[in-house]
Structure 1
Amino acid sequence: MKYLVHPIYPYMICGVDEAGKGAVLGPLVVGVVGCEAEEALPDGVRDSKALTPRRREVLYTEITASFPWQTVVVEAAEIDRLRQEMTMNDLVARAHARAVMRLGGAGRAYLDACDVNEERYRSKVAALIGGDCEVVARHHGDALFPVVSAASIVAKVTRDRALEDLRAEFGAVGSGYPSDRVTIAYLKDYIAGHGTAPAFARTSWETVSRLFDRRRQTSLGDF
């Protein structure tokens, strides 16, 4: 059965989660999935990090074929721009709120809280959404609420596909995270060869700043 997104379903719940918050390469992707009851979600829905890539793809197909869903994609350049005006947590909160509003029709939204203070995060997103939507924010929400797990799958698969596109165009960029040696090697080589970071890098990240500092120090050492 397909669940239609429409304001006549004020009792519909939705879950929201993001992928790529801490990445230095590629976009931040927020996923939102709606349903009338969590029991209706596909069997095996759980935190995307606990699933194999193959299983995520299967569940993604099932979720997006039968439930209302949306994504909000914030590219690296936009992240850099917004970080001049707000914290990363505020940026994610705004994206979470945008996702809920883009979906429409939810009477309650469950969020994976991106703040050490769950109530502060809940209040912030609720104010951004406005209206009568009840907001519930919890740490590890993707493990607590199946509907948030479903959103995490949509967000993760969407971001993974974006990274695949980057690999196809630019080569071995890795996972995009600072802990990934392939990602750091790619960034280091790109900066050394071009004198700038690639367009899909978050230049406001300390990771990129350190690589530029090392490049300057190496250049000075040549004199």
Structure 2
Amino acid sequence: MSFIIRRDAGLYGYERALRRAGFDLVAGVDEAGRGACAGPLVAAAVILPTRPIEGLADSKKLTAARRERLYPEITQRALAWSVVRVEPEECDALGMHVADVEALRRAVARLDTRPHFVLTDGFPVDGLGTPSLAMWKGDAVAASVAAASIIAKVTRDRIMVDYAAEFPTYQFDVHKGYCTALHQSELDEQGPCAIHRQAWDNVARTTKLKRS
């Protein structure tokens, strides 16, 4: 199968081209938290309506406030959407790449409407039971993937804010579990907590230091 996307097609260009090719229900899927050393990996899948959602963009290019404003519009207007989380222990057991692909697969499987085509951000995902296309920087070039990136990011940020109340000294509400200088200083001082990914070198190192 082949289709042509014009350079000026905009964020909805892939979805329009796929509909012209007979794929009416296009799901986009993306994850948040792959690069964090604490907290879950979160993946979302979204099937958007044909009418565009204004202001939709790659979640990384939006402010937290803008993502929060778009979240209810996406979830209310989507033809279907889903979100899944992979806990730190499973991320450690699977390895991050396998965990990432598994999260994307689970998000698509959880949709209550079966898509005709799936656009995935970054990695090809087998076992979807439907045609799919892996896209480099898909959240920046395809509307459904951008919508999924916002759902995944907002969901994970809320989870990490909740964890900040449970583990206040780590300031998870500030760095969201990513490997910032602030986060590392807390790790070095206190060692890891229950939601840290033990397979990460910077976490394993502090575990050994606290045991010595």
TM-score of the superposition, structure 1-length normalised?
0.77
1:128 aligns with 2:127: yes
The answer to whether the 8 Å contact 1:41/1:147 transfers is no
The answer to whether the 8 Å contact 1:16/1:99 transfers is yes
CA displacement at 1:78 relative to structure 2: 1.8
The answer to whether the 8 Å contact 1:11/1:36 transfers is no
Q: Distance in 1 between matches of 2:52 and 2:183?
A: 35
CA displacement at 1:176 relative to structure 2: 0.8
- Other-structure match for 1:177: 178
Mapping of residues 1-223 of structure 1, within 5 Å: 11-37=24-50, 40-67=51-78, 68-83=80-95, 88-103=96-111, 104-114=113-123, 121=124, 125=125, 127-130=126-129, 133-171=130-168, 172-173=171-172, 174-178=175-179, 180-191=180-191, 197-215=192-210, 219=212
CA displacement at 1:13 relative to structure 2: 0.7
TM-score of the superposition, structure 2-length normalised?
0.81
The answer to whether the 8 Å contact 2:116/2:131 transfers is yes
- Other-structure match for 1:7: none
Q: Distance in 1 between matches of 2:49 and 2:53?
A: 13
2:45 aligns to what SS in structure 1?
A: strand
The answer to whether the 8 Å contact 2:161/2:176 transfers is no
The answer to whether the 8 Å contact 1:41/1:63 transfers is no
Query: Which ranges in structure 2 are unaligned for 5 or more consecutive residues?
Result: 1-22
The answer to whether the 8 Å contact 2:45/2:82 transfers is yes
Q: Distance in 1 between matches of 2:104 and 2:166?
A: 29
Q: Distance in 2 between matches of 1:41 and 1:160?
A: 25
1:24 aligns to what SS in structure 2?
A: coil
Runs of 4+ in 1 over 6 A off after TM superposition: none
CA displacement at 1:36 relative to structure 2: 4.2
Structure 1 window deviating more from structure 2 (22-31 vs 98-107): it is 98-107
Letter of the 2:72 counterpart: T
1:92 aligns to what SS in structure 2?
A: helix
> Against the structure 1 CA distance between its residues 34 and 166, is the aligned structure 2 distance closer, same or farther, given a 3 Å change threshold?
same
Residues 88-127 of structure 1: CA distance to partner in whole angstroms, max 9, x if unpaired? 222211211111111141001111013xxxxxx2xxx2x3
The answer to whether the 8 Å contact 1:27/1:74 transfers is yes
Q: Considering only aligned residues, what root-mean-square deviation do their CA atoms show, in Å?
A: 1.8
CA displacement at 1:214 relative to structure 2: 4.1
Residues 155-196 of structure 1: CA distance to partner in whole angstroms, max 9, x if unpaired? 000000001001122112332111x122112222322xxxxx
The answer to whether the 8 Å contact 2:48/2:77 transfers is no
Residues 53-81 of structure 1: CA distance to partner in whole angstroms, max 9, x if unpaired? 00000000100111121001011112122
Identity of aligned residues (%): 40
The answer to whether the 8 Å contact 1:31/1:151 transfers is yes
